[in-house]
Amino acid sequence: MKKLATLLLLVLASGSVLAADARPADVATVDGIMAALYDTISGPAGKVRDWDRLRSLFREDGRMVVHSAGKDGVIHTRVLSLEDYITRVTPVFAKEGFYESELARKGEEFGQIAQVFSTYEARHAPADAPFVRGINSIQLVNDGKRWWISQLLWQPEGEKTPLPERYLKAR
């Protein structure tokens, strides 16, 4: 029982450390957290991303969900913890540049929750043509002190799912 209590205290303390490590400008507003999200995952090949900064944006139980057509044409959904995502993309980012930017945004806020549809495009280098576009659906919560990303769900544009015009217009 004592070991369980110690483990629980460590888990609770680690959540506090994450909150303390967040840059205030990153989490004070929805605009700030969105800018930080895109900034943390973008960079040239071989650049080690600031994963601690990314972690500071997400709730401890936050998740990332990919919903897309596989090579077989069938829609697949993959639910990832933040650590799963970091493990999955680190070797890719070591070899390839990845620059994701926001093209347009539609969002709603009510009380301490927000829903953002963020249209994105990704390039291997800033001057390259985009190799993918899609929509990031991001759910955020505010605990009275700051914004947290609760979930990021994305779907790339596809032959059967072209981006609608309404999601290509600026806010």
Q: What is the pLDDT of residue 70?
A: 86
**pTM of structure:** 0.86
Q: How far apart are CA 77 and CA 67, in angstroms?
A: 4
The residues of the chain scoring below 70 in pLDDT are 1-20, 171
Could you report how far apart the first and last alpha carbons of the chain are, in Å? 53
Q: What is the pLDDT of residue 171?
A: 65
Following DSSP, what letter does each residue of 82-107 receive, concatenated?
A: HHHHHHHHHHHHHHS-BEEEEEEEEE
CB count, 10 Å around CB of 25?
A: 12
Q: What is the pLDDT of residue 73?
A: 85
Q: What is the pLDDT of residue 2?
A: 52
**For residues 55 and 41, is the Cβ–Cβ distance under 8 A?**
no
**For residues 37 and 114, is the Cβ–Cβ distance under 8 A?**
no
Q: What is the pLDDT of residue 71?
A: 84
By the 10 Å C-beta count (0-12 exposed, 13-18 middle, 19+ buried), 80 is classed as middle
Q: List, in order, residues 6 or more apart from 24 with CB less than 8 Å away.
A: 146
Q: How far apart are CA 64 and CA 113, in angstroms?
A: 18
Q: What is the pLDDT of residue 169?
A: 86
CB count, 10 Å around CB of 52?
A: 12
Q: What is the pLDDT of residue 6?
A: 40
Q: What is the pLDDT of residue 8?
A: 35
- Phi and psi of 81, rounded to 5°? -75, 170
